[in-house]
Structure 1
Amino acid sequence: MTHFPLGRVAPAHTSFTLKVTVAALVAAGLLSSASVKAQEAATPAADIAAAPAPAAAPAGQDVNVVTVTGMRSAARNAQAFKQNNEQVVDSIVADDIGKFPDKNVAEILGRITGVQIIREAGEASNVVIRGLPGAVTLLNGREMFTAVSRSLFLADIPTTMLSRLDVYKSQGVDMVEGGTAGVIDVRTNRPFDFKGYTASVVTRAENRDKSGATDPQVSGMVSNRWKTAYGEFGALVGYSYQRGRYQDEGAWVGVPLSLEQGITGPDTLGRVMTSGDRKRWASNGVLQWRPNADIEAFAEVISTRIEHDAETNFLVGQLPFNKGATITKIPGTNYLQSISKDGADQWTLTSTQGRRHYSRTTQAAAGATWDVNEQLRVKTELARTISKFRNANPIVDIVGYLPNVSGSIANGAGTLNYPGGDITSGANFFLEKFFDQHSHDEGSSTDWRADVTYEPANKGFFREFSGGVRIAERKAASIHGIEGAVTHPGAYSSRQVMVNSIPGFVCGSPATAGNYGISSFVVPCASYLLNNVNDLRQTFTGSTTPNPEDPLSYYADIEKTRAVYGKADIAFNAWSVPVDGSIGLRAVRTEQDLRGNSLINNAVVGASTKTSSTDYLPNVALRAKFRDDLQSRFTWAKTTQRPVFADFNPGLVLHQAGNTTLATGTSGNPNLKPIESKNMDASLEWYFAQTGSITGTVFSHEFKNYIRRKSTPETYDGVTYDVSRPYNTTDGKLEGIEIAYKQFYDWLPGWLGGFGLEANGTYMHGGLTEPDGKVNSFAGMSKWAYNLIGLYERGDWSARVAYSWRSRFVSEYAYRATQYDLVVDPMKSLDASLTYKLTKNLSLTVDGTNLTDFKYKDYHSVPDLPRDIRRYDRTVGVALRWKN
């Protein structure tokens, strides 16, 4: 083991790896000397999987103090899975059906070492592993996706369906390829997971403070198994319904400009208020059959449906520069601090973006496992996935001229006031522009795989051989309406249409919870936009005909993959230290047939591109067991990540400049190459108790063909647009370390023995090399991140308190093609839940998220040039859980 060629695998990082590994070893040594009594009393963790019953209590100890159920059972099972897996993996196991305080899979992921999330639009959605977005998402080991995306939208899967959630930091050759950051595998319940008849019902009410809404959530599951003359059968059905009305608020500051008096600052300030009503249904059904001890078959289906009405209300307040305004600067700088002007008669815009989303995804799968004999096992599986997404997005801008205006910048936000003017009255605003936007996406796939495992009768160096094939065909198609605005024929003339003259058209924006000047402003009603779109078309264009679809936005991609892999499990002794692991290779042939449209000589011409490539993905995973409870792990793998389908689209879509937008364009690149990554992980893991461990992992990713977008000026019909196109950039690398600690303090006396703690932290550095040689960290990557989770379980009580923190990060470089990067301040979150068992079968849970009312802040390169301050809902939920 000590002679494994680390240097040849990743020579650029050997020094870093050795330093951090030594540090981790020293830390483990210090901790082991401090915790030797706990270690001596613990059952060897290697025996957990084989003997899941709790260890016997030492003599004289109350055997009723520690009951290995609930949180302890979940922690024990997750720890056993991590310890015995050949890959570097972290897991969360359901401690009881529907008992997670989080509502969806994305929110749970934020508790896992090295994983960060961002909550917006009422829930967690944006998930990165070790600062990188390139994770492949699987459902029960199979590829699943939403519409034309590469991944499953994790917020669509309710936690009540979960059996286990696995986050693989290293990827085995037997896994579906496609993720350079890792693999997220969502495992759902099956009837053979339970001893017999099992039923559960969870009802929950959730209140959100910004939206002021209280909404229902209901889920249920019934499972049973029967022994018959034809073998054992099992059946499970599950259902979940969630409604969530939410409100996000933001106060924004425009991009810094060179203004009068040598001042650098924005020429606009504003608000953005987003609210929505999301309804989500999910259901699953599973059948299992075991005709004899050697054969097991299954069939399962899972379906999700989302109906989501939302609106975003904008306020764009133009500041009165060049009008003799009173201006001040932030002391010691040339940055704008405040500006005010009476009699400015200032142009002011408000807008509503109405959104009506409908999404439906269904996956059906069937498969079987056959133990041919004691040495040979065969598995096969066939899956079919269909996903659709529709979006209606009407937008209306209205304009008014306010007599007086004042604005200031302080505490990372912009404050805007209109003294003497009523910004809440529709009598002061007229119709200006209408955007008739809509889109439609579809995706489908057929996926078949077969795997064979052979164990030699006489095991020596080689312990097991396995191999398999996977054949998949994925289709994706997308099109949206021609983008652009239609100006009302009476705008800026004597024929202006004041918005208060249209019945049902005027609403007030939601009031802000923070103090950013004015609290509310007049806006078009989203309900009017969504339900009376034909009236809007008639008003602005004189016709009820919808905006036509844009042929340049259309693309259809057929992607065929053929994969084959082979793997050998090995075991040997290195200087009396047992070592086991695997070596393997996966070969993947990818063929793409891309169809779209291009603009040639001002004419739309069909375009077709066919590409093919073959990738060879080797993998090495080794584990050295120094003791039953102390082991070290090393993995090295090459992985690939295919571009999203929209990035291949050759069509060019142009967006004309408006009052608040620049002239821009977007296009794809059919010649994009997949991202390649060579990933290395080295860990030291000490499992000192059944529910106690300390682990440290050093990791390194080396990237090739990483995909970035850049904007360049391009002129069409005499108009210059900033056109964004994707491209494969130069090499990049990411290095870091993860440390995690988990333990229940069962040895403490009395009620103190119910406490437990999970703590994990991640440090990362590295990035992409720019054309000028500068290395920029990955967009969205925090250098530091940690989670602290306090646990308690004793008798009828259980509780969790979870605090997450991540350091500042760059969300976008060269923001809006300027010299400024968009930097996000540190993010933090405090969530908690408390459960009491009312009876053997019934429990009551109270939970809350965002308890500290976190404020998201970002800025243009320096804090004195802020961009956004955002606030999200603080939620409190009450749930009743019944299980037979």
Structure 2
Amino acid sequence: MLPRTCSACAAGAVVLAFTETMAQPVPAQTEESREARLPPVTVTGVRASMISAQQVRRDNLGIVDAVVADDIVRLPDHSVADALQRVAGVQITRDRGEGGVVVIRGLTQMETLLNGREVFTAGTGRALDFSDIPAEMISAVHVHKTSSADQLEGGLGGTIDLRTRRPFDFAGREVALSARMVHGDLVRKAKPQVALLASDRWSLGAGGELGALVSLSHQRRAYREDQKSSGAPRACDSTSAAGTAGIPACPELVPGRKVYAPNATSETRSIGERERTGLNAVLQWRPSPALELYAEGSFAQFKTIQDSYQINASIGLNTGFQPGSVELFPGTDDVRRVTWTNVPVSVLSFARDTVDRTRQFALGGNWKPGDAWQVKSDLSHTQSFNHLFFSGPTLSATAAAFTHDVSSRVPGTSVSGTDLLDPANFTFVSSAYRVRPFEGSLTAWRIDAEHDLGMGIAESVSVGLRLARRRADNGAGLTFGDASVPGGLPAANRPDLVMPNPYGFMPGEDSTSLRDFLAGNLALARDPVALRTALGITGPLPSGGSPLSLWRFDERTYSAYVSTDLKAPRMPLDGRVGVRVVRTHEGASGFQSVPSAGGVAPLEVDSRYTDWLPSLSLRYAVEPGLALRAAAAKTITRPNFDQLSPSLSLLRNSVDPSLNQGLSGNPALEPVRAANVDLAVERYFGDTTAVLATVFWKKVDGFATTVSRDEVHDGETYRVSRPVNTSRGKVTGVELGYQQFYDGLPGAWSGLGLQANYTYVDGKTVLAGTGELPLQNLSRHSLNLIGMYEKGPVSARLAYNWRDRYFSGLTGVVGVGSLPSYVAAYGWLDASLRWRWNERVTFAVEGTNLLRTLRHSYYETQTRRQHAWLNDRQISMAVTVRLH
């Protein structure tokens, strides 16, 4: 069979069909043999989720971790990304209080699948934004940390496969309805979420059996995120006080000494609503025991509507400071407190709305013409659209004095000598307008065949072929329509366009902030033409971006594989060995500057390359319940589309041709490639009890780094900056896991359970001209502790996730150099309490971010503050009704 996984367990945690005991050997039996021995047993809740996830790990020849739904219409967490953070080796960043970017073993380069098919969010990258998918649509998430030949290429760090339910996962009719109300304590609003699943199957007599399923989810969530940012540290001494071209001077704060002071504050309140809609429909037809056909369709839409109010204060051309106000952190040259004078202040109020929309349709089947053969085929088409809208007015003022104190958890800021609520002190200076679209599509067909050999070491041989065509473009590009207000417009002349800032800032934090100020009224922000007219801007809105920013791709891939399942005679050793070969044809189009003609010209580039990807997985049963694993494979991830863009911008210097500059992507970029080795030991003591340990190594080659080189274009030499494959990296790490329900405890205590995992990952890369750096978004240490209770009708869960500090990027600062930025270590606490009133109705109370965690980042050292974020504590009440 292809692949050898427990598909019934993976498809959902409601009906589980397995009765293996820990006395049996670790190598998996086939799904058919388990189903033949005992009928399905209905198991629900956290315990069922653990049993199913553990079985997925045991049954796979590779190293696969899983998160499985603990009820028919929900994962254990509100979002897919939040559920993924519970998996050892997986870390996430946060976006508006939810899980954001997912990192597997230090790498963001991964393959994302929906029911085994490639799925993505249109954009510059290739993977799915997990925020797009309502958690209620998903029955299980499989995280493949090792690779095999039959798996789709593209997962440098790993492959994440989201699984939805099918009608044949259930014994008969199944209908479930879930409703939830979610309240955010900062935004002070509650929004509803509903989910419905309806499935049934019918006997058609001689026509076999037919099943149909519809799953619908609609989520609304109000949120608020407060962010305070301190500007990059500026060098302040007698030299820097003279200023640099285009850079305001920094006064000499301490006579005869160079010190470093944050050059600004930026304080943003973002209030919005996120809306997710998901639909999944499936038909399954089994006309005979040997043939099964299916048709699937899925739709996901993710919308964010956000209003933001941002006030900024920064060092200006005429900024001074109050003598005696300067304090340094002891033993450093970093300024802890200073009062600036004559400080420019700006207030940007803006609407920021986004929408992602993804559709996927598939037809396929599974045919078993005999005991020894199995053939599978799948044809799918995926379309994705991504759009950003940004618009709003900017006000300007000057503060007599601005005090900045960065010694507290949230840096303290205050203004004196100027009333920032007085319209007479403000002028409208500009209106922002930006629109950015992305589109993408993929048509793919694959066929896989497996033949059971039943002889010698080779148990079976599998072959497969996949043809795919992916298209991607950025439409009209980034439309940048920011415009200045002619001569400025006094706010007092248009009182209808301003209002007092409607929100405080970071409640509960013991520090001052800029709370009392005028902000732009956003009533016209989503009508940019009307807003510009009201501000006296007469120029029309642009209809698109520069042609030099455009790119379009037509990518075709042809892949084939062969693999063999192995079983050693007279030894408890099995495995899989294979190779996948992939031919990629990249067609890219864009535009390039033609300085001699003063215009642009179309540009088309083709590239082709072939990758051979061998893989090997071995599993050895030392004794019943104890297994050793080893895996080795080569993996790849293709470059992002913006990196591959052929569009070339040339800036000619008519005075000094040696200063000619250029900027472009690089359609000749090759994939990032990695060699991977994993070793694991697994001890299973029961259906829910296991101790796991994995050691892994990755050697990565081909990270893209921007390099400037001389190139000849249009008869002249230009210094062109392009990304090139120069950087190498290495990742090593250890994953430890433990889980158990303590059934041996007396009475009610026997409902207690614990899941715990710890990950250590050390990842570094070498960048040209910079040297060795840690991998971005990678914490060296991370930990999950999940306390559980399930007894009778009560089920409870307390989940704590902690991650160490991580490198977030480099910032170039004039007079200082390149500074690394780090997000400090933080923990996140979620909990749920569920009560099963009867077999049909379950009530739940759930909470996320119960600690109302304050996250912060810094430049190089903790005395150089960068950002601080505060998100809502979310509390929800839910009810689930099963109507079968």
State TM-score, norm by structure 1: 0.88
- Secondary structure of the 2:572 match is strand
Determine the structure 1 residue equivalent to 2:6.
none
Which of 475, 498, 508 is the aligned partner of 2:501? Answer: 508
2:256 aligned with 1:281: no
- The amino acid of 1:322's aligned partner reads G
What is the identity, as a one-letter code, of the residue corresponding to 1:249?
A: D
State the Cα deviation string for residues 206-237 of structure 1 (Å, max 9, x = none): 01112111111011010000001211000001
For 2:492 and 2:633, how far apart are their aligned partners in 1?
61
How do 1:404-553 and structure 2 match up within 5 A? 404-456=401-453, 458-478=454-474, 479-483=476-480, 485-491=482-488, 496-498=489-491, 501-506=494-499, 508=501, 510-512=503-505, 513=507, 514=509, 515-536=511-532, 539=535, 541-546=537-542, 548-553=544-549
Cα distance in 1 for residues equivalent to 2:753 and 2:61: 27
The answer (yes or no) to whether the contact 1:54–1:68 under 8 Å persists in 2 is no
Residue 519 of structure 1 and its aligned partner are, at CA, apart by 2.8
Q: Secondary structure at the match of 2:639?
A: coil
Alignment of 1:97-496 (within 5 A): 97-148=72-123, 149-229=125-205, 230-259=207-236, 260=252, 261=254, 262-319=258-315, 321-325=319-323, 326-340=325-339, 344-456=341-453, 458-478=454-474, 479-483=476-480, 485-491=482-488, 496=489
Identify the residue that residue 869 of structure 1 maps to in structure 2: 868
Larger mean CA deviation between 506-515 and 308-317 belongs to 506-515
Change (3 A) 1:396 1:725: farther
The residue type paired with residue 136 of structure 1 is E
Distance in 2 between the 1:776 and 1:592 partners? 31
Q: Aligned AA for 1:234?
A: G
SS at match of 2:818: coil
Deviations 1:360-412 (A, max 9, x none): 21100010100010001111000011111222212432101223322211135
Q: CA deviation at 1:185?
A: 0.2
Evaluate the alpha carbon distance shift between residue 498 and residue 722 of structure 1 in structure 2; reply closer, same or farther with a 3 A threshold: farther
Aligned mates of 2:24, 2:562 — CA distance in 1: 36
Query: Partner letter of residue 289 of structure 2?
Result: A
Q: How does 1:600-749 map to 2 (within 5 A)?
A: 600-601=594-595, 602-651=598-647, 667-709=664-706, 725-749=722-746
- Mark the CA change 1:425 to 1:227 in structure 2 (over 3 Å): closer, same or farther: farther
Q: Deviations over 1:34-56 (max 9, x none)?
A: xxxxx99877666896558999x
In 2 relative to 1, CA 116–219 (structure 1 residues): closer, same or farther, beyond 3 Å?
A: same
Q: CA RMSD in A?
A: 2.8
CA deviation profile, 1:149-175 (whole Å, cap 9, x unmatched): 311211121121222110010111111
Shift in CA distance, 135/334, structure 1 to aligned 2, threshold 3 Å: same
Match of 2:847 in 1: 848
CA deviations on 1:490-532 (whole Å, 9 max, x unpaired) are: 13xxxx3326615245452532123342235332234421134
Q: Contact conserved, 2:532 with 2:538, CA < 8 A, in 1? A: no
CA distance in structure 2 between the aligned counterparts of 1:786 and 1:480, rounded to whole angstroms: 41
Query: CA distance change for structure 1 residues 654 and 840 in 2, over 3 Å: closer, same or farther?
Result: farther
- Is there any run of 5+ residues in structure 1 with no aligned partner, and where? 1-38, 56-65, 656-663
Q: Residue 807 of structure 1 corresponds to which residue in structure 2?
A: 804
In the TM superposition, 1:47-66 aligns within 5 A as: 51=34
Shift of 1:559: 0.3
Separation in 1, partners of 2:390, 2:808: 26
Residues 1:87 and 2:66 aligned together: no
Partner Cα separation in structure 1 for residue 802 and residue 460 of structure 2: 43
Partner secondary structure for residue 113 of structure 1:
coil
Query: What is the letter of the counterpart of residue 795 of structure 1?
Result: G
Structure 2 partner of 1:586: 580
2:413–2:513 Cα contact (<8 Å) kept? yes
Contact preservation (8 Å) 1:815, 1:822: no
Residue identity matched to 2:591: N
Distance 2:400 2:538 in 1: 33
- Is the contact made by 1:651 and 1:667 (CA closer than 8 Å) also made in structure 2? yes
Q: Does the Cα contact within 8 Å between 1:759 and 1:788 map onto a contact in 2?
A: yes
Distance verdict in 2 for CA 1:768–1:828, change over 3 Å: same
CA contact 1:486–1:541 (8 Å) conserved in 2: yes
Q: How far off its partner does 1:734 sit?
A: 0.5
**For residues 499 and 719 of structure 2, what CA distance do their matches in structure 1 show?**
35
Distance 2:497 2:27 in 1: 68
Shift of 1:428: 2.4
Distance 1:422 1:769 in 2: 50
Rounded Cα–Cα distance in structure 2 between residues aligned with 1:54 and 1:522? 72
* CA deviation map 1:790-843 (0-9, x unaligned): 111000000111111111111113456832100111021111100001222101
TM superposition shift of 1:849: 0.8
SS in 2 for 1:729: strand
User: Are the structure 2 counterparts of residues 710 and 853 from structure 1 closer, same or farther at C-alpha, using a change threshold of 3 Å?
Assistant: farther
CA drift of 1:703 comes to 0.6
What is the TM-score of this pair, normalised by structure 2?
A: 0.88
Whole-angstrom distance in 1 between the partners of 2:42 and 2:294: 34
Structure 2: how far apart are the matches of 1:190 and 1:273?
43
What CA distance in whole angstroms lies between the structure 1 residues aligned with 2:456 and 2:277?
52
Separation in 1, partners of 2:492, 2:26: 70
Q: Which moved more, 1:781-790 or 1:815-824?
A: 815-824
Distance in 2 between residues matched to 1:853 and 1:640, nearest whole Å: 39
* Alpha-carbon distance in 2 for matches of 1:423, 1:665: 43
Letter in 2 for 1:455: D
Return the alpha-carbon distance in structure 2 between the equivalents of residues 816 and 671 of structure 1: 31
Aligned residue number for residue 593 of structure 2 = 599
Matched residue SS, 1:146: coil
User: Do 2:354 and 2:388's aligned partners in 1 also have CA atoms closer than 8 Å?
Assistant: yes
Task: Return the alpha-carbon distance in structure 2 between the equivalents of residues 256 and 723 of structure 1.
Answer: 30
Measure the CA separation in 2 of the matches of 1:773 and 1:501: 50
5+ unaligned residues in a row in structure 2: which ranges?
A: 1-19, 237-251, 652-660
Partner of 2:15: none
* Residues 1:816 and 1:258: Cα distance change in structure 2 (over 3 Å): closer
Greater CA drift, 255-264 or 874-883: 255-264
Residues matched between the structures, number: 814
Answer whether contact 1:510 1:520 (CA < 8 A) is retained: no
Secondary structure at the aligned position of 1:800 is classed as: strand
Conservation of the 8 A alpha-carbon contact between 1:158 and 1:240 = yes
Q: Percent identity?
A: 32
Read off the aligned partner of 2:320 and give its amino acid letter.
Answer: N
Give the deviation of 1:735 after TM superposition. Answer: 0.5
> Against the structure 1 CA distance between its residues 271 and 535, is the aligned structure 2 distance closer, same or farther, given a 3 Å change threshold?
closer
Counterpart in the other structure of 1:881: 880
Change in Cα spacing, 1:281 to 1:816, as seen in structure 2 (3 Å) is: farther
Distance 2:422 2:829 in 1: 39
Q: Secondary structure at the match of 1:368?
A: strand
